[in-house]
Structure 1
């Protein structure tokens, strides 16, 4: 189902996003100011290009629990979870933001993902009492820098658990207050499309550029942007919020357990500071090579301009790359600042 451009793109100064974020504003004419307002907890971000899927019926939570990576069979009303759909070989196919209202589980997906998620879930229903529907055309998502669940009378909200850890899991990167994402406050309201303006409630709007910069600064992975066809959750340190290591079988579980118990992931996510002296930053997918020459060791996945740190990025590199490596992204110098060690 194609996504209709957001009504908020009619706001003065709105510039449509590109790629995965087309259909909502990349910015409203003042990207730097918008990011500052968002970081201060004052602005909201239009994410109505995200897909929205509902799963209703008395078996919905135990059924979703059996199909995905996180412990969700006992999810309480208005409690949030993040869970992954994996391929049979354990590669990430979809990341689901899940919140249940007591009668229906609400899942939001990356843009363009709702149709595929709905079709796959529907194919797995068998005789269980569940109903799956793609309601992306009827509901919109609004991101805001608030870290609490919604109260009764407020729109249903998914609260980002990053950086966790959540439940029985494992962290490849820093834990506790050492993690740059510590203290991240973020939630996503699910509102009827016709109520989107009302949900904004007169607050300043920030574009997706601002949200992406804060996401990168928190080392927070994003499916379809920081993943490719062979990404496993360990490589992005995604076990910490989306994978329960001691639950029943689900598709791809063998890979999750084998890599965790017997080895190390072949690649890892890193946070990079980019040389900001040039006017043009490298594009996602740009190969990373050692500054002193040699073969590529990885590639950029997300690039952003942070209001304090300047040009920053997430990248996927070979695990054996030296912790103090300085890499070239095309002709741009990239200083590596994150090493994941199990």
Structure 2
């Protein structure tokens, strides 16, 4: 969004505007609902046609057949072994379904959807003419976003992140009295690029925040993301993504048997943890840096941020057998002590009071060729 890059103080990185000169101030204003974030690191896919919802329901992890105009959720595309291939936020306006994906994943997701259409009455289109503005609901930013959000079918295209609560059909593995995601009312408005640039011309640095501020709020909320927490081995259970992106009681879809097996038996091979990093050193670890328990490497960092209240924090994917105590992140500049907070327990599912799922092999329904690899 060129207009936002012209605002005083804008510092642009590979993915977009990282900040506008004062990261902590931007975080505070963003958290209060008073700042907009240009989300250049996301992209929009439009899925249209009368059969779009039933088709998306049949090939993804989410129950979408009855989603109503203006409703939001999220979905995962899994491979036959249940590993995460793609992820997207979902918003329907009664005519089209709008998918919000990380920019690096959007083209691959759109291509896969095109390949899976067969004779389905649906179209799939990447929409580079549309931009995304992120904000926290409840303040001036929400008013601005609602005013300029696209309305091709009469419904404002503002996606509501479902991470604040466990979605219908989902399950939370995190054993906490109050989940940190409950306090993050994250939204994303879909707008035309021309409209976004026109808005930017009327804003100052006090009205905007960069991607670093948005990432800090995300990491503090334990919210997984495709571009950070997903690799070639990722199962949705490992990052507690069953919470909002998987419907455990819907019909068959690719990868469901693994979802059911791991959920029924427990013990996902890895688990997401939150790390509170020693802030005495100005250097932060990088995504991919190894995490050690004593002399044993037990995982790696996936996301890192400096939070305006919590200080330096990170998310890490660890081995299920990693101890639950303090850890060390090994960086090029030396070791950083890390206090661990367990998000997904090592025995997730095995000891929880959860609904048990029927294995696919026991279901009498014939396979649908659209769900094949």
- TM-score, with length taken from structure 2: 0.84
Give the C-alpha shift of residue 339 in structure 1. Answer: 4.2
Q: Is the Cα contact below 8 Å between 2:303 and 2:315 reproduced in 1?
A: yes
* Backbone CA RMSD of aligned residues: 2.0
Determine helix, strand or coil for the equivalent of 1:42: coil
Q: Which residue of 2 aligns with 1:71?
A: 63
* Residue 332 (structure 1) aligned with residue 332 (structure 2): no
Q: Which residue of 2 aligns with 1:230?
A: 233
Residues 154/54 of structure 1: CA separation in 2 closer, same or farther (3 Å cut)? closer
Give the C-alpha shift of residue 262 in structure 1. Answer: 2.0
* Residue 43 (structure 1) aligned with residue 26 (structure 2): no
- Residue range with higher mean Cα deviation, 196-205 or 315-324: 196-205
- Residue range with higher mean Cα deviation, 159-168 or 316-325: 316-325
Determine helix, strand or coil for the equivalent of 1:97: strand
Residues 288/8 of structure 1: CA separation in 2 closer, same or farther (3 Å cut)? same
- Residue range with higher mean Cα deviation, 325-334 or 93-102: 325-334
Q: Is the Cα contact below 8 Å between 1:300 and 1:329 reproduced in 2?
A: no
More helix by share: 2
In structure 2, stretches of 5+ residues that fail to align are 349-373
* Residue 179 (structure 1) aligned with residue 183 (structure 2): no
Determine helix, strand or coil for the equivalent of 1:181: helix
Q: Which residue of 1 aligns with 2:291?
A: 288
Q: Which residue of 1 aligns with 2:197?
A: 197
Q: Which residue of 1 aligns with 2:11?
A: 15
C-alpha separation in 2, matches of 1:100 and 1:6: 28
Deviations 1:245-303 (A, max 9, x none): 1111111111111111123101110011001111211111000112xx32200000101
Give the C-alpha shift of residue 306 in structure 1. Answer: 0.4
Determine helix, strand or coil for the equivalent of 2:254: coil
Q: Which residue of 2 aligns with 1:144?
A: 135
C-alpha separation in 2, matches of 1:16 and 1:223: 22
C-alpha separation in 1, matches of 2:13 and 2:24: 16
Runs of 4+ in 1 over 3 A off after TM superposition: 147-155, 197-203
Residues 139/339 of structure 1: CA separation in 2 closer, same or farther (3 Å cut)? closer
Determine helix, strand or coil for the equivalent of 2:226: coil
Q: Which residue of 1 aligns with 2:160?
A: 159
Residues 66/334 of structure 1: CA separation in 2 closer, same or farther (3 Å cut)? same
Give the C-alpha shift of residue 8 in structure 1. Answer: 1.6
- TM-score, with length taken from structure 1: 0.91
C-alpha separation in 1, matches of 2:228 and 2:344: 20
Q: Is the Cα contact below 8 Å between 2:61 and 2:76 reproduced in 1?
A: yes
C-alpha separation in 1, matches of 2:54 and 2:258: 22
Residues 220/37 of structure 1: CA separation in 2 closer, same or farther (3 Å cut)? same
Q: Which residue of 2 aligns with 1:107?
A: 99
Of residues 229, 239, 242 in structure 2, which corresponds to 1:239? Answer: 242
Count of residues paired in the alignment:
330
In structure 1, stretches of 5+ residues that fail to align are none
C-alpha separation in 1, matches of 2:58 and 2:3: 37
Q: Is the Cα contact below 8 Å between 1:144 and 1:187 reproduced in 2?
A: yes
Residues 323/30 of structure 1: CA separation in 2 closer, same or farther (3 Å cut)? same
Determine helix, strand or coil for the equivalent of 2:309: coil
